[in-house]
Amino acid sequence: MVVTLIIACEVGFWLLLAGGLALRYLARMPRLGAAVLLCEPALELLLLVVTAIDIKNGAAPSWTHGLAALYLGYTVAYGRYTVRWLDAHAAYRFGGGPKPPGAGYGKARAVHEWKLWTRTLLAAAVAIGLLQAAIWYVGADGDVSQLETMRYVALRVVGGHAIACVCYTIWPKKPPKAADRPLPSQEQPAPVTRTGA
């Protein structure tokens, strides 16, 4: 049941996001679109409540409850960021807004990646907090091995993202090279051809 709800929340997230952006920029109804976008946190709240009720009613804690905790952590850390990022791109594509800046290159890109890593760290902290609360709730007599395993999954994600950030720091991403063509001052004069005598 929890897995089905997670899938439904994920599908609902993207449907609400697409619907809200379509109302804002295609239908030219910005207030209604914003109202639809504001409905998204209700999905995560529903998932949290159902997961807690499922455990309270005696369901054995499993990887599905752990997955729900990871999903909620991601939503807390990246949900608003994702909505704002897509909103900026929709405004540019459909609303005549300015082109959103990219992640950049070199040091700017490394800084951007480390900022994203702090979001991943927050996501993991929220997930681990929820998992720990579930472990305490079940108590020492219950089997909480699946929940403990999901804590390590969250920590591995944080570690893997940190390694990617270190790579961007040590080997910064370089801007694409311009086409190899001579500058105007270096252009050779066109050859003179003679026609007829």
Cβ(6)–Cβ(67) below 8 Å: yes
Cβ(94)–Cβ(25) below 8 Å: yes
Q: What is the residue type of 150?
A: M
Range with the largest mean pLDDT of 9-18, 132-141, 172-181:
9-18
The predicted model gives 101-125 an average pLDDT of 93
Q: What gap in Å lies between CA 80 and CA 119, rounded to an integer?
A: 11
Is residue 195 included in any domain, yes or no?
no
User: Given the structure tokens 């910005």, which residue do they identify?
Assistant: 30
Amino acid 113: pLDDT: 95
Q: What is the largest CA-CA distance in the chain?
A: 107
Amino acid 197: pLDDT: 41
Amino acid 181: pLDDT: 46
pTM, 2 dp: 0.76
Residue 86 domain boundaries: 2-174
pLDDT in tens, 134-156: 888 877 777 788 888 999 999 99
Nearest to 49 by CA among 62, 64, 68, 35: 68
The predicted model gives 47-68 an average pLDDT of 81
Structure token digits, residue 50: 């159902």
User: Given the structure tokens 């909505």, which residue do they identify?
Assistant: 83
The residues near 104 (Cβ < 8 Å, ≥ 6 apart) are: 112
Amino acid 154: pLDDT: 95
pLDDT in tens, 23-48: 988 888 889 988 888 887 888 888 88
Domain count, the chain: 1
Nearest to 59 by CA among 124, 143, 128, 133: 143
Amino acid 1: pLDDT: 67
The whole-chain average pLDDT of the chain stands at: 84
Is residue 141 included in any domain, yes or no?
yes
Is residue 142 included in any domain, yes or no?
yes
| Range of lowest pLDDT (109-113, 157-161, 165-169, 181-185) | 181-185
Structure token digits, residue 42: 């209700």
Is residue 13 included in any domain, yes or no?
yes
Is residue 179 included in any domain, yes or no?
no
Range with the largest mean pLDDT of 20-34, 98-112, 116-130:
116-130
Instruction: Say whether 60 sits in a helix, a strand or coil.
Output: coil
